[in-house]
């Protein structure tokens, strides 16, 4: 039975241990390394801000797990989402790695922004770091956000680390579809991750053409498999 990625689960602090057990040799960041990463990001925080915005472009849209004051649709300028992070645990396995989204340079990306209150900022962000910074897949960065065409904040976003061990931004579409259609792990299937992201973007009236196309192709593959 897949385990849900809940706030309570993140507070246990065992996600890294579980992933390391599933993928021997996977380098897991220590709590000290995550804390240092968070401090470095907050040191670059734009002056004059009240609270911190976080930009969601994938599973954070439909499963934020953090406490927030406000949420609003937003567009990140200079970035686009892509299935470019290979995962051998969580929503994949060493034998059949799955894929998750990352932000890559160039273009724009529609998603959702969450405002975290100053009083709980460090606690909430530490939970987010436990979730997103388990290994070296992402680089937390400040990105420019717009709402209805106007800049309203700079936000923390988890951009892809192209030097990371599991970066796979050059896969063919056929391989992306195959992985999304077939991979699964302790947190569920890669297909569920894709479909829930598609549905979350639709609810924001921000349907992503690439995500929509991949979802249709994956549905077709899974339909054939289920009927065979």
Chain segment 81-104, per-residue pLDDT in tens: 999 999 999 999 999 999 999 999
CA distance 42 to 154: 12
CA triplet 138, 211, 63: central angle to 5 degrees? 60
Answer yes or no: is 2 within a domain.
no
pLDDT digits (tens, 9 = 90+) for 8-25: 999 999 999 989 999 988
Please state whether 127 falls in left (phi above 0), alpha (psi between -120 and 50) or beta: alpha
Q: Which residue from 56, 45, 40, 38 is spatially nearest to 145, judged by alpha carbons?
A: 56
CA distance 29 to 56: 22
Q: Measuring CA to CA, how many Å separate 47 from each of 35, 43, 71, 87, 151?
A: 21, 10, 21, 36, 15
Answer yes or no: is 14 within a domain.
yes
Let me know: does 182 contact 224? Beta carbons within 8 Å. Answer: no
- What does pTM read for this prediction? 0.94
Answer yes or no: is 204 within a domain.
yes
The total number of structural domains in the chain stands at 1
CA distance 131 to 140: 12
SS3 166: coil
pLDDT at residue 70, as a whole number: 96
- φ, ψ of residue 176 to 5 degrees: the values are -60, -45
SS3 67: coil
Answer yes or no: is 170 within a domain.
yes
* pLDDT average, residue stretch 155-162: 98
* pLDDT average, residue stretch 112-127: 96
Q: Which residue from 162, 155, 181, 142 is spatially nearest to 82, judged by alpha carbons?
A: 162
Q: Which of 33, 118, 122, 132 is catalytic?
A: 132
Domain range holding 81?
7-227
Q: Is the pLDDT of residue 64 over 60?
A: yes
> Quick count: other Cβ atoms within 10 Å of Cβ 26?
18
CATH number, residue 94: 3.10.490.10
Q: Is the pLDDT of residue 47 over 90?
A: no
Q: Is 132 a catalytic residue?
A: yes
Answer yes or no: is 1 within a domain.
no
DSSP state of 75: E
């Amino acid at each position: 039975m897949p385990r849900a990625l809940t706030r309570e689960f993140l507070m246990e602090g065992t996600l890294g241990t579980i992933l390391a057990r599933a993928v021997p040799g996977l380098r897991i960041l220590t709590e000290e390394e995550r804390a240092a990463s968070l401090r470095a990001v907050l040191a670059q925080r734009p002056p004059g801000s009240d609270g911190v915005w976080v930009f969601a472009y994938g599973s954070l849209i439909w499963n934020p797990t953090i406490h927030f004051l406000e949420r609003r649709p937003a567009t990140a300028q200079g970035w686009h989402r892509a299935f470019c992070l290979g995962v051998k645990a969580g929503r994949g396995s060493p034998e059949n790695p799955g894929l998750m989204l990352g932000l890559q340079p160039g273009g724009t990306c529609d998603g959702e922004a969450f405002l975290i209150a100053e009083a709980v900022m460090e606690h909430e962000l530490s939970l987010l770091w436990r979730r997103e910074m388990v290994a070296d897949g992402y680089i937390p960065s400040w990105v420019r956000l717009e709402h209805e065409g106007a800049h309203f904040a700079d936000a923390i976003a988890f951009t892809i680390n192209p030097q990371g061990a599991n970066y796979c931004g050059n896969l063919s579409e056929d391989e992306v579809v195959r992985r999304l259609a077939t991979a699964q792990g302790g947190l569920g299937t890669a297909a569920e991750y894709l479909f829930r992201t598609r549905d979350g973007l639709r609810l924001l009236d921000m349907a992503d053409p690439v995500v929509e196309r991949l979802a249709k192709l994956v549905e077709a593959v899974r339909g054939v498999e289920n009927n065979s």
